[in-house]
Amino acid sequence: MDWCVEVEGLHKSYETLSPGERVYFKNDNAPTHFISVIYWSLLRKRVLIEVLRDITLRVRKGELFGILGPNGSGKTTLLRILAGLTPPTKGKIRVFGEETDWRQLYKFTNYIPGALVGGGWMLHTLSAYENLKIRARLFNVPEERIKEVMNLLGITKFGDKPVGTYSSGMLARLEVAAAFLKDAPIILLDEPTAGFSPEVEREFHEHLKNIAKNEGKTIIYATHMLHFAETFFDRIAILKRGEIVDIGRPQELKERLGTSSTIEIVIIPKNPTAIVALRDKSKLRLDRPFVVERMGEHRYKLRVSCRETEETLMKLISTVIERGFLIRHIVIREPTLEDYYLSLIEGWKLEIN
């Protein structure tokens, strides 16, 4: 098998300081305040937090591989390790079949972080092209590559205007273009499209697909966009609190729900006790696994995946009315990857009818 990246038993811990407890004196003038801060900093202990636990995965050459997981689940840490930017605490990484020290990983990978703050490093009186050219010189990148990445990110149209005149979306694209100057067989993307407009995002994804399928580049992409993930990736790993909870093709993952439909029901609580029932899911006493989402003020959405749609729907309607809710809206649809993802992340067991 043509494995490009193989990760085996990877762990990562960070050493940080425990929050400690501040001691407050009644009379909080400058000297006592000073003493309390010293006391506090002495009491704080070094603690290890485990951010990645026993990560094992393999990615094929030319594969579009997605990493999904909530904030803080370890996506960025995993990508940064693969990029050779941070050392793993334990574990093996093989690239093209050869065990590779983390310090050497940068040679095979190009790490593209999301550009949340755009344009900090750029000279604002120069154009996008000139800024990219400065960076390209620094890293010995050939001239043609600048044109290529400008096309890839749709910058060519405004590439000769001063960067100072760009909108935040244009700056975000320029940041990603700069990261793309480096040409490597493995591309690691960390929520790269923040700030992109939908049509630019679509084109960017189209292009990624092309370079994976035509140029054989391996793409490992961390994202929150479940809807996009369902159709884009060949395979997906779902991370939860530093552990992989599932890996598979989107279709496979969806089928693991084992249900034929998902009911979404938007409800409005008539009184405060109804809201208490929502906060403590056990009080709602639905005998189906479900996910609650807040939709805005006084509006919540329940999602229930099930096999016997009509029967579950009737039960659901009578339960929520009994519990003090008004029903605003009901949708019955096919289960999606998002339904499966939420069932894993929210910790509700899979439906067994």
Ligand X SMILES: Nc1ncnc2c1ncn2[C@@H]1O[C@H](COP(=O)(O)OP(=O)(O)O)[C@@H](O)[C@H]1O
Residues found near ligand X in the complex (CB under 6 A):
14, 16, 49, 51, 69, 71-77
Minimal CA–CA distance to 182: which of 216, 145, 222? 145
List the single partner that 262 binds among ligand X, Mg ion, none, CB under 5 to 8 Å by kind: none
Pick the closer one to Mg ion by CB: 75 or 182. 75
CA dist 238 and 236 (Å) reads 6
Residue nearest to Mg ion (CB): 76
List the single partner that 16 binds among Mg ion, ligand X, none, CB under 5 to 8 Å by kind: ligand X
> DSSP for 204-235?
HHHHHHHHHHTT--EEEEEES-HHHHHHH-SE
In Å, how far are 7, 153, 158, 213, 223 from 199, measured between CA atoms? 34, 11, 16, 21, 18
- Tell me the closest approach of the beta carbon of residue 82 to Mg ion, in angstroms: 13
List the single partner that 163 binds among Mg ion, ligand X, none, CB under 5 to 8 Å by kind: none
- Tell me the closest approach of the beta carbon of residue 175 to ligand X, in angstroms: 18
- Tell me the closest approach of the beta carbon of residue 223 to ligand X, in angstroms: 10
CA dist 329 and 266 (Å) reads 5
Q: What six digits make up the tokens of 345?
A: 């992340």
Listed in sequence order, the DSSP H helices in the chain are: 30-43, 75-82, 128-138, 143-152, 168-180, 198-213, 226-232, 250-255, 272-279, 281-284, 309-322, 337-345
List the single partner that 72 binds among ligand X, Mg ion, none, CB under 5 to 8 Å by kind: ligand X
- Count how many Cα atoms sit within 13 Å of the Cα of residue 18 in the half-sphere of its side chain: 11
Pick the closer one to ligand X by CB: 62 or 69. 69
Pick the closer one to ligand X by CB: 16 or 273. 16
- Tell me the closest approach of the beta carbon of residue 257 to ligand X, in angstroms: 23
- Tell me the closest approach of the beta carbon of residue 30 to Mg ion, in angstroms: 40
CA dist 334 and 313 (Å) reads 14
List the single partner that 51 binds among ligand X, Mg ion, none, CB under 5 to 8 Å by kind: ligand X
Pick the closer one to ligand X by CB: 74 or 118. 74
Q: What six digits make up the tokens of 348?
A: 């509700």
Pick the closer one to ligand X by CB: 66 or 269. 66
- Tell me the closest approach of the beta carbon of residue 98 to ligand X, in angstroms: 26
List the single partner that 62 binds among Mg ion, ligand X, none, CB under 5 to 8 Å by kind: none
Give 160's contacts (C-beta < 8 A, 6+ positions apart): 127, 128, 129
Residues facing 265 on adjacent strands: 302, 330
List the single partner that 69 binds among ligand X, Mg ion, none, CB under 5 to 8 Å by kind: ligand X
Pick the closer one to ligand X by CB: 94 or 241. 241
Biggest CA pair distance of the chain: 71
Q: Which residues bind Mg ion (CB under 5 A)?
A: 75-76
Pick the closer one to Mg ion by CB: 69 or 159. 69
SS3 label, residue 317: helix
Pick the closer one to ligand X by CB: 77 or 312. 77
SS3 label, residue 195: coil
- Tell me the closest approach of the beta carbon of residue 92 to Mg ion, in angstroms: 23
List the single partner that 71 binds among Mg ion, ligand X, none, CB under 5 to 8 Å by kind: ligand X
- Tell me the closest approach of the beta carbon of residue 47 to ligand X, in angstroms: 10
